[in-house]
Amino acid sequence: MTKTHFFYALTLPDETKGFLKQTSERIKSEFAFKKWLHQDDYHITLAFLGDAPEEMRQKSLEFVNDALTEASRIDLQLDNIGIFGNVETPRILWAGMKPSEQLNNLRKKIYVACEEACFTLDKKPFKPHITLARKFTENAFQLHRMQELADISNRAHRFQGAAVTLYQTHLGQAPSYQPIATFSLKKRV
């Protein structure tokens, strides 16, 4: 039986998913990654729970709901494209955001709520990103050429984060992430 994982993420608007899909298409022909994510799977991870037992998951839903009661929508802007892993054979290709205190605060609320539900979470610093592809399969990856083709910094795509979703993974499927619960953020007046 395949293990499933759960995570909380900022849900992206369809327009942003379309923009990122278009960006992926611009660079796909020149850069061979083993897996390009389905556009419905684009998100910004806020807390990765892993293999979450039902009772803890339910508790996290309650605590996250409480934490987001007064949380407002956040304004974000895509800023760049980057990689995680070896510069010659990266394991992750991602789109990043301009720094946002609002996003950092939202992430902190989710993170604390999940810790209160007894989850042990990753302690690495938060680096908000949207994964586009995984596992580069050729030699001599060229980040500068990738950034040129993607041209994210010159296209100034802005969007609003309006919801947080608990997702469940279904590896091998496309899309791979199933929404379990969604929390809408308040409109700012």
Using H for helix, E for strand and C for coil, what is the string for 106-158? HHHHHHHHHHHCCCCCCCCCCCCEEEEEEEECCCCCCHHHHHHHHCHHHHCCE
Alpha helices in 70-142 (DSSP H): 101-116
Q: Counting every residue, how long is the chain?
A: 189
Q: Please give the domain boundaries of the chain with CATH numbers for all domains.
A: 6-184 (3.90.1140.10)
Positions marked catalytic: 43, 129
Residue-wise pLDDT tens digits, 2-55? 578 999 999 999 999 999 999 999 899 888 899 999 999 999 999 999 998 999
> What pTM does this model have?
0.93
Residue-wise pLDDT tens digits, 86-143? 888 899 999 999 999 999 999 999 999 999 999 999 999 999 999 999 999 887 788 8
**CB of 187 closer than 8 Å to CB of 73:** yes
**CB of 58 closer than 8 Å to CB of 163:** no
